[in-house]
């Protein structure tokens, strides 16, 4: 997932938590007696632990952990979380309200109906008369993700709840909703990154495979040892390319081994028409890079470099240590292009989107190209980035 | 020089089995090479004559390679097991069966050399007495000096003027130059592989060809670290690994 994006959303969450603390404070007097300060701290601790509990999503277990504190904060006799499928978790302060648990399950239909409205609603706690149960009212605060209610926080009351009490319930529901939206966004971003990588793997073109096999087939006749070596390279290369899709990050060393294997196969095919120059600082070998960010640049360079046809294509690959960044550049001596012609679907755009997700837009590819001048594509990778590890 | 190792290759597919047996027969450290077409035949052979190591294909009809390895693990004497697989290594490691090595199909001859080295070490592994002081390296730990056994060190790295000794868990500052360390540790299996790196070849996990005659070396216990091998050191390193 993108650490940067997550930082932004976490900041948003902190703001929501702070807003709730502010609202709760305002509900009390403005003086800061010790009791008030204690309440503030408790509220803040509550918001933090709630956010943490729901990090893995809304489950019966995570709900059971936070409901007691929600009941205390809301001053309700009993609270519950419902999903559209029914009662997820219930908590009652000891005493008469505990008997309401089975009633709460029975009332799921009417509560889910209120949840579907997407707005805070006050409904009757029972469908019919329940002798001996002192609970009368249920405040239903829907929790929405992307505009549709996925759950509802419900507080149960013996008397009509005061507006302030309703406000607390709806604020907490809002907090939970923000948490779930964040989780949703995380998963979407991770899924996006994975599907980008899958898409890129799918771009390893059938041409490349057929070309490699044709080359190997020819060497089997003329140079069996070389053919054998190329088959092993081809096997290693495809193993690395088709690794599990969740391998989002790798070391620069491993990424460059993929490049070497790719070049070995292409040089066998193209012979003297392809020359390669390298300058790799040993200091940057072990930095972490997104998987498959360099090989497509080299593939692109070969395509452009050899497009000029006459003479030979010269590809230069550099990976240099520059302060807290590693600068990677792939240069060809081809025809160049003017202006850079990418269409939003190619490998370069795919890499750009992934670099943007991981390191931010400032770290997208820098493409320098002009007709007749060749092309250089540079990327700058931060050497230390918390949260980014090879898989 | 340890005696040659007798091995048994188990694979239901003839070409893969032939090829691995062929590669093994070409290695001086390997003695007799037997073949078996499935787990059952392998077990029959083993009851008749014990071997030092069994190369087991994981994907076989009937009893598969993992089942076979579980049975072999209960034998006495117990042959070492090397898995040969088209899967990714970690997919196999997840099964938690003790194996000396994992080989990927198709098998590279250079990679097989490393496996053979490991088999030799596995056969010779009797826990020795605690390393004497002469086999220890002084490292700085805050204001203290610790003496750590040379064999715990995977690689010594010169970073500017400071040399660090890397063990699987730590990165210790060393009060010596890389040249001084090299002089002391050459007899302990260490070899200079790059201007700034002195590697412990007793822990070689893999050696991969890099660009222009250079290589990348990885060591057991420190596999996330790619160690550059410069061209001028590459031939000596390859010879040392090959035996």
Per-residue pLDDT tens over the stretch B30-42: 999 999 999 999 9
Q: A93-107, A278-292, B121-135: which has the minimum mean pLDDT?
A: B121-135
Tell me how far apart the alpha carbons of residues A39 and A323 are, in angstroms, rounded to a whole number: 48
Nearest chain B Cα distance for residue A320, angstroms? 15
State the best of B226, B227, B231 to mutate against chain A, taking most chain A CBs within 10 Å: B226
- Angle (CA) A187-A205-A257 rounded to 5° is 75
Q: Do B105 and A251 touch (CB under 8 A)?
A: no
Q: Is the dihedral of CA B160, B163, B167, B170 positive or negative?
A: negative
Question: Within 10 Å of residue B165's Cβ, how many Cβ atoms?
Answer: 26
Whether pLDDT at B177 is above 70: yes
Rounded distance between C-alpha atoms, residue B125 and residue B1, angstroms: 14
Domains of chain A are 3-189 (3.30.450.40), 203-382 (3.30.565.10)
Measured CA to CA, the distance from residue A362 to residue A355 in angstroms comes to: 9
A113 backbone φψ class: left, alpha, beta (φ>0; ψ -120 to 50): alpha
Provide, as residue numbers in chain B, all residues whose Cβ is less than 8 Å from the Cβ of A234.
none
Q: Do B228 and A286 touch (CB under 8 A)?
A: no
Of B88, B212, B226, nearest to A251 by CB-CB distance is B226
Return left, alpha or beta for B70; rule: phi > 0 is left, psi -120 to 50 is alpha, else beta. alpha
Is the N-terminal amide bond of A100 cis, ω within 30° of 0?
A: no
| Residue A389, pLDDT score | 54
Which of A239, A278, A285 comes nearest B104 by C-beta? A239
Whether the upstream peptide bond of residue A390 has omega within 30° of 0, thus cis, is no
Summary mean pLDDT of chain A: 80
pLDDT of residue B71: 93
Categorize the per-residue pLDDT at B128 as very low, low, confident or very high, splitting at 50, 70 and 90. low
Q: Higher confidence at residue A152 or residue A19?
A: A152
**Percent helix, strand and coil across chain A, each to the nearest 5:** 55, 20, 25
Task: Report CB contact under 8 Å: A235, B105.
Answer: yes
Q: What is the pLDDT of residue B204?
A: 92
Q: How many helices (H) and strands (E) does chain A have?
A: 11, 12
Minimal Cβ distance to B211: which of A235, A239, A278? A278
pLDDT band at A135 (very low <50, low <70, confident <90, very high): confident
Q: Which residues of A239-274 are buried (b: 16+ CB within 10 A; e: fewer)?
A: bbbebeeebbbbbbbbbbbbbbbbbbbbbbbbeeeb
Asked if residue A259 has pLDDT above 50, the reply is yes
Tokens read off for A363: 């770290």
Count Cα atoms within 13 angstroms, Cβ side, for A35. Answer: 4
Give, as one character, the DSSP assignment of residue A55: G
CB-based contact (8 Å) between B2 and chain A? no
| B106, B196, B226: residue with CB nearest A253 | B226
Cβ–Cβ of A257/B224 closer than 8 Å?
Answer: no
Cβ burial of A131 (10 Å; 0-12, 13-18, 19+) is: exposed
Q: Chain A closest CA to B84's CA: distance in Å?
A: 15
B225 to chain A nearest CA, in Å? 6
Higher per-residue confidence, B135 vs A25: B135
Note whether A256 contacts B228, CB cutoff 8 Å: no
Strand order in the sheet with B215-219: B204-209, B215-219, B222-229
In the predicted model, is pLDDT for residue A36 greater than 90?
no
Q: Which has more confidence, A95 or B24?
A: B24
Lowest mean pLDDT among A110-124, B116-130, B190-204: B116-130
Respond yes or no on whether ipTM tops 0.95: no
Q: Which residue has the higher pLDDT, A297 or A42?
A: A297
A283–chain B nearest CA distance, Å: 9
A110 vs B114 pLDDT, higher one: B114
Which is higher by pLDDT, B50 or A5? B50
A80, A89 contact by CB (below 8 A): yes
Distances (CA, A) of A335 to A61, A277, A298, A301, A309: 62, 18, 15, 10, 9
Domains present along chain B, CATH in parentheses: 5-124 (3.40.50.2300), 133-242 (2.40.50.1020)
Residue numbers of A between 279 and 308 with CB closer than 8 Å to B: 280, 282, 285-286
Q: Which DSSP symbol is given to B105?
A: S
Tokens 């590279």: give the residue.
Answer: B108
A290 burial via Cβ count (<10 Å: 0-12, 13-18, 19+): buried
Inter-chain CB proximity B210 and A232 less than 8 Å: no
Contact of B89 with chain A, judged by CB distance below 8 Å, is answered with: no
More confident site: B215 or A73: B215
**Residues in B 101-120 with any Cβ partner in A closer than 8 A:** 104-106, 108
Q: What is the CA radius of gyration of chain B?
A: 20
B226 pLDDT above the threshold of 70: yes
What pLDDT was estimated at residue B39? 94
Q: Flag if A286 and B225 touch (Cβ within 8 Å).
A: yes
DSSP bridge pairs for A87: A82
Q: Are A249 and A390 in contact (CB under 8 A)?
A: yes
- pLDDT for the residue numbered B200: 95
Angle at Cα B224 formed by Cα B218 and Cα B227, nearest 5°? 40
Residues 6+ apart with CB under 8 A from A200: A292, A296, A347, A350, A351
CA distance A377 to chain B (A): 20
Of the candidates A169, A139, A153, A186, the residue with the CA atom closest to the CA atom of residue A63: A153
Smallest CA–CA distance, residue B235 to chain A, in Å, is 19
Dist CA A182 CA A357 (whole Å): 16
Contacts of A247 in chain B (CB under 8 A): none
Q: Is B16 on the interface with A (CB under 8 A)?
A: no
B216 vs A257: CB contact, 8 Å cut-off?
yes
| Reported confidence tier of residue B119, pLDDT bands at 50, 70, 90 | very high
Mean pLDDT, residues B131-155: 84
Show the 3-state SS of A64-114. HHHHHHHHHHHCCCEEEEEECCEEEEEEECCCHHHHHHHHHHHCHHHHHHH
Partner-chain contact B209 A260, CB within 8 Å:
yes
* A286 with B196: Cβ contact below 8 A: no
Asked whether A168 and A183 are in contact (CB, 8 A), the reply is no
- Chain-chain contact of A282 with B212 (C-beta, under 8 angstroms): no
**Average pLDDT estimate for A356-373:** 85
Mean residue pLDDT of chain B comes to 89
pLDDT at A112: 86
Cβ atoms A351, A365 nearer than 8 A: yes
Q: Which of B104, B194, B224 sits opposite A282 (nearest CB)?
A: B194
Question: In whole angstroms, what is the distance from residue A273 CA to residue B137 CA?
Answer: 52
Closest chain A residue to B230, measured at CA: A282
Look-up of token digits 């990327």: A379
Chain B residues close to A251, C-beta within 8 Å: 224, 226
Contact between B61 and B15 (Cβ < 8 Å): no
- Asked whether the beta carbons of A167 and A141 are under 8 A apart, the reply is no
| Probe site for chain A from B111, B196, B211, B231 (most A CB atoms < 10 A) | B211
Residue A290 pairs in a beta bridge with A249
Structure-model confidence comparison of residues A76 and B119, the more confident one: B119
Residue A390 has pLDDT above 60, yes or no: no
Residue B211 to residue A286, Cβ atoms within 8 A? no
Alpha-carbon span B172 to B138, nearest angstrom: 9
Residue of A nearest to B211 (CA): A260
Q: Using the beta-carbon criterion (under 8 Å), do B226 and A285 form an inter-chain contact?
A: yes
Chain B within 8 Å of A389 (Cβ-Cβ)?
Answer: no
pLDDT, residue B172, reads 93
């Amino acid at each position: 997932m993108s650490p940067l994006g997550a930082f932004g959303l976490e900041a948003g969450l902190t703001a929501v938590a702070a807003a709730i603390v502010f609202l709760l404070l305002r509900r009390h007097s403005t003086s800061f007696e010790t009791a008030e300060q204690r309440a503030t701290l408790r509220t803040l601790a509550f918001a933090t632990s709630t956010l943490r509990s729901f990090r893995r999503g809304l489950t019966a277990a995570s709900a059971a952990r936070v409901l007691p504190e929600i009941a205390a904060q809301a001053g309700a006799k009993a609270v519950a979380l419902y999903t559209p499928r029914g009662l997820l978790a219930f908590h009652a302060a000891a005493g008469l309200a505990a008997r309401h648990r089975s009633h709460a399950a029975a009332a799921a239909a009417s509560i889910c109906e209120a949840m579907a409205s997407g707005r805070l609603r006050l409904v009757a706690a029972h469908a019919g008369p329940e002798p001996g149960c002192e609970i009368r009212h249920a405040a239903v605060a829907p929790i929405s993700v992307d505009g549709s209610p996925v759950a509802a926080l419900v507080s149960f009351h013996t008397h009509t709840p005061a507006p302030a009490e309703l406000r607390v319930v709806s604020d907490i529901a809002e907090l939970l909703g923000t948490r779930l939206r964040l989780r949703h966004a995380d998963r979407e971003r991770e899924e996006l990154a994975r599907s980008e990588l899958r898409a890129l793997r799918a771009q390893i073109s059938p041409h490349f495979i057929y070309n490699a096999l044709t080359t190997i087939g020819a060497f089997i006749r003329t140079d069996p040892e070389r053919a054998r070596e190329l088959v092993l390279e081809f096997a290693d290369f495809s193993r690395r390319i088709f690794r599990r899709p969740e391998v989002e990050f790798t070391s620069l060393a491993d990424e460059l081994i993929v490049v070497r294997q790719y070049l070995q196969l292409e040089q066998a095919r193209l012979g003297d028409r392809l020359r390669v120059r390298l300058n790799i600082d040993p200091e940057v070998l072990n930095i972490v890079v997104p998987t498959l960010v360099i090989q497509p640049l080299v593939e692109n360079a070969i395509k452009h470099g050899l497009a000029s046809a006459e003479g030979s294509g010269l590809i230069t690959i550099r990976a240099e240590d520059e302060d807290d960044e590693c600068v990677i550049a792939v240069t060809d001596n081809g025809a160049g292009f003017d202006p850079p012609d990418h269409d939003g679907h190619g490998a370069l755009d795919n890499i750009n989107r992934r670099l943007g997700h991981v390191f931010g837009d400032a770290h997208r590819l820098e493409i320098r190209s002009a007709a007749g001048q060749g092309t250089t594509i540079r990327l700058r990778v931060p050497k230390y980035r918390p949260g980014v590890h090879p898989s | 020089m340890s005696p040659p190792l007798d091995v048994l290759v188990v694979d239901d597919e003839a070409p893969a089995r032939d090829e691995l047996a062929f590669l093994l027969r070409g290695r001086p450290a390997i003695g007799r090479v037997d073949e078996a077409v499935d787990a059952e035949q392998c077990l029959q052979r083993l009851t008749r004559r014990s071997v030092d190591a069994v190369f087991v294909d994981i994907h076989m009809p009937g009893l598969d390679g993992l089942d076979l390895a579980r049975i072999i693990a209960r034998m006495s004497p117990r042959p070492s097991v090397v898995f040969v697989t088209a899967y990714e290594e970690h997919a196999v490691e997840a099964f938690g069966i003790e194996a000396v090595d994992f080989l990927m199909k198709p098998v590279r001859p250079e990679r097989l050399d490393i496996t053979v080295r490991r088999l030799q070490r596995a056969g010779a592994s009797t826990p020795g007495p605690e390393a004497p002081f002469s086999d220890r390296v002084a490292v700085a730990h805050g204001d203290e000096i610790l003496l750590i056994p040379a064999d715990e060190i995977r690689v010594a790295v010169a970073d500017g003027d400071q040399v660090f000794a890397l063990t699987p868990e730590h990165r210790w500052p060393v009060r010596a130059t890389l040249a001084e360390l090299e002089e002391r540790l050459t007899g302990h299996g260490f070899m200079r592989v790059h201007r700034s790196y002195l590697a412990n070849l007793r822990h070689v996990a893999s050696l991969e060809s890099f660009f222009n005659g250079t290589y990348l070396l990885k060591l057991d216990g420190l596999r996330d670290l790619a160690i550059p091998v410069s061209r001028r050191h590459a031939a000596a390193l390859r010879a040392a690994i090959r035996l």
